Amino acid sequence: MNIILLGPPGAGKGTQARQLEEKYGLVQLSTGDMLRAAVRKGEPLGQEAKAIMDRGALVPDELMIRLISERIAQPDCAKGFILDGFPRTIPQAQALDKMLLNVNSKLDAVVELKVDEGKLVERVAGRFTCAKCGEGYHDRFKPTRAPGVCDQCAGTDFSRRADDNAEAMKTRLKAYRDETAPILPYYAARGVLKAVDGMAPMPDVFRALEGALGLVV
Ligand code: AP5
């Protein structure tokens, strides 16, 4: 099963994609995570993308299309994947159609996480991640069980994203409205678009997502 999760910054795409990966063995393809890894490793792509990401704008289509087309062609993606952060523009959506044709695959569902924009700054401002295993947390909505210790790997080093601030969020939300939201009618016209309430508590969102994807009856 190949799925796209769509929604503005902080909607919960990464949170839900990680759970789908864990429970159903689908591969999470997060373009944001791939870019941040390229920044950490000092790769040319990371050097090109860093300033753009930090201010909350979109990285050029051609770079993103190359990145994801190389990843989707890898053997592990044949068992199914969840795209989290791609496509983000109509040209990216069109390029994805071609990529899937090339690997003899298709899109099964596109799920929009519907959220209240006014609550998203709080979501991203409170987000932090274990530097060792990448587990995601939130100061208020998902704190670590023991203060300062990762529930998964007992790591004690955590990081926060450079673009998780109110100023960059304005640009990220505008980019979503202007460049990403126009993808929704593109997929609605093909009958693959579904919607889930992303404002519910995390486990409820996951159950609704499973229902929308036909994974539970
Ligand atoms: P990316 O990393 O994709 O960021 P984003 O789309 O802005 O999404 P986020 O990761 O901020 O949010 P999310 O929806 O995954 O929320 P999460 O689950 O973490 O992209 C970053 C940048 O990279 C872009 O700005 C751009 O520059 C570049 N880029 C990436 N892909 C690109 C592309 N295709 N084209 C061009 N540029 C690209 O949740 C957020 C927080 O809320 C967490 O702390 C979580 O614990 C909490 N939370 C989640 N769900 C709930 C809930 N139901 N209730 C309460 N709290 C919740």
Q: What is the pLDDT of residues 190-215, one digit of tens each?
A: 999 999 999 999 999 999 999 999 99
Q: What is the mean pLDDT of residues 23-52?
A: 96
Q: What is the mean pLDDT of residues 57-64?
A: 97
Token pair 């994947």: residue: 81
pLDDT at 104 over 90: no
pLDDT at 98 over 90: yes
| Residue type, position 156, single letter | T
Report H helices in 25-152.
31-40, 44-55, 61-72, 90-102, 120-125
Q: Which of 13, 36, 71, 123 is catalytic?
A: 13
Q: What does the block give as tokens for 98? A: 């071609």
pLDDT at 39 over 90: yes
| Residue type, position 183, single letter | I
Q: What is the mean pLDDT of residues 162-184?
A: 96
Question: Residues 129-171: pLDDT tens digits?
Answer: 999 998 999 999 999 999 999 999 999 999 999 999 999 999 9
> What per-residue confidence (pLDDT) applies to 217?
64
> What per-residue confidence (pLDDT) applies to 185?
97
Who contacts 19 (Cβ-Cβ below 8 Å, separation ≥6)? Answer: 206
Q: Provide the 8-state DSSP code for 118.
A: G
CB-based pocket (< 6 A), ligand 1: 7, 9-15, 31-32, 35, 52-53, 56-59, 64, 85-86, 88, 92, 123-124, 126-127, 136, 138, 141-142, 163, 172, 198, 201-202, 205
Q: Provide the 8-state DSSP code for 60.
A: P
- Averaged pLDDT of the chain: 95
Strand 158-159: give its sheet, edge to edge.
Answer: 136-138, 127-130, 158-159
> What per-residue confidence (pLDDT) applies to 216?
81
For residue 197, list its beta bridge partners.
114
Who contacts 103 (Cβ-Cβ below 8 Å, separation ≥6)? Answer: 72, 73, 77, 78
| 127 among known catalytic residues | yes
Let me know: does 192 contact 107? Beta carbons within 8 Å.
Answer: yes
| 123 among known catalytic residues | no
Question: How many CB atoms lie under 10 A from the CB of residue 174?
Answer: 12
Give the confidence band of 103 by pLDDT, cuts at 50, 70, 90. Answer: confident
Return the ∠ at Cα 86 (arms to 78 and 160), rounded to 5°.
110
pLDDT above 70: percentage of residues in the chain: 100
pTM of structure: 0.95
